[in-house]
Amino acid sequence: MRCSRCGHEAADSDKYCAECGLFLRDAFVDQRLLHALVPESEGRHREARRELERLVESDPDNALANHLLGSVYFHQGTLDLAIERYERALELAPEFVLCSYDLGVAHYHRGNMPEAIKAFRRCLEIDRHYNAAHYRLAVALFHAGELDLALEHFEQCTALTPEYLMARYHIGVIHERLGDLDAAAREFERGLEEGVGEKSSLYHLDQIRASRGDSS
């Protein structure tokens, strides 16, 4: 059976798509989801929330509905409720990589770096090429003080997507903090060439030059 949303090949016994969480057995459920998403797409978030809450109440084992309701809660700033829905969706569809990513983002915004790191690592267990998860994991590790591990994942970002320029900026910051000023300067200079973080890159380059006694 092939998922109509993402094209993932599912087993005949699967109830939900492992990739996107779509309920595979009942087209009516998907129609109700689409109905709930219309107001969300038009900026009518309260109406979307009511529709999705009704859907989750009537169909609590719908992974995609739980995830979408979590996303509505997230955008309304109710992070605890968002996390609760994301976790429920992942109970139902453990390989739902986008939901794991969104769970990590919610934990990050709550300031819970250990749980954010756990969720982003789970994303990469499912899909090691998920570059946004590499970047988010690196940022969370950076804020947790795990600079060597953060550097590893920022470098994974640039290996997968060389134009991921904000990752290069962070690589420069980490090299600077670790005392490798030559490597840091190279990254900041590259950022200036690419037009990314110009003011910040100039600031860091000035700091590096001052520490070297280099007035050039």
Question: Could you report the per-residue pLDDT of 54-67, keeping only the tens digit for each?
Answer: 889 988 998 988 99
Give whole-number Cα distances, 150 to 20, 142, 146, in Å.
Answer: 27, 5, 6
Instruction: Read off the pLDDT band of 49 (50, 70, 90).
Output: confident
Output the pLDDT for position 175.
Answer: 96
Question: How many CB atoms sit inside 10 A of residue 203's CB?
Answer: 12
Say if residue 87's pLDDT is above 90: yes
Angle between helices 198-212 and 165-177 (to 10 degrees): 20
User: What confidence score (pLDDT) does residue 111 get?
Assistant: 96
- Which are the contacts of 84, defined by CB distance < 8 A and separation ≥ 6? 70
Reported as a single tens digit per residue, the pLDDT across 134-185 is: 999 999 999 999 999 999 999 999 998 888 888 989 999 999 999 999 999 9
Residue 22 burial (CB count, 10 A): 22
Taking alpha carbons only, the member of 51, 29, 53, 30 closest to residue 42 is: 51
| More confident call, 204 vs 16 | 204
Residue 108, pLDDT score: 97
Q: What is the pLDDT of residue 67?
A: 92
Q: Hey, where are the domains in the chain?
A: 1-95
* Residue 192 C-alpha from the chain's centroid: 26
pLDDT > 90? residue 16: no
- The answer, yes or no, to whether residue 94 has pLDDT greater than 50, is yes
Would you call 151 helix, strand, or coil by DSSP?
helix
Q: What percent of the chain stands above pLDDT 90?
A: 50
pLDDT at 201 over 90: no
CATH number for the region 1-95 comes to 1.25.40.10
C-alpha to C-alpha distances, 206 to 64, 65, 187, 195, nearest whole angstrom? 49, 50, 14, 17
Phi, psi for residue 151 in degrees, rounded to 5: -60, -40
User: Average of pLDDT values for 85-105?
Assistant: 95
Name the residue among 23, 97, 94, 17 with its Cα closest to residue 56: 23
* Selection from 27, 7, 23 nearest residue 15 by Cα: 23
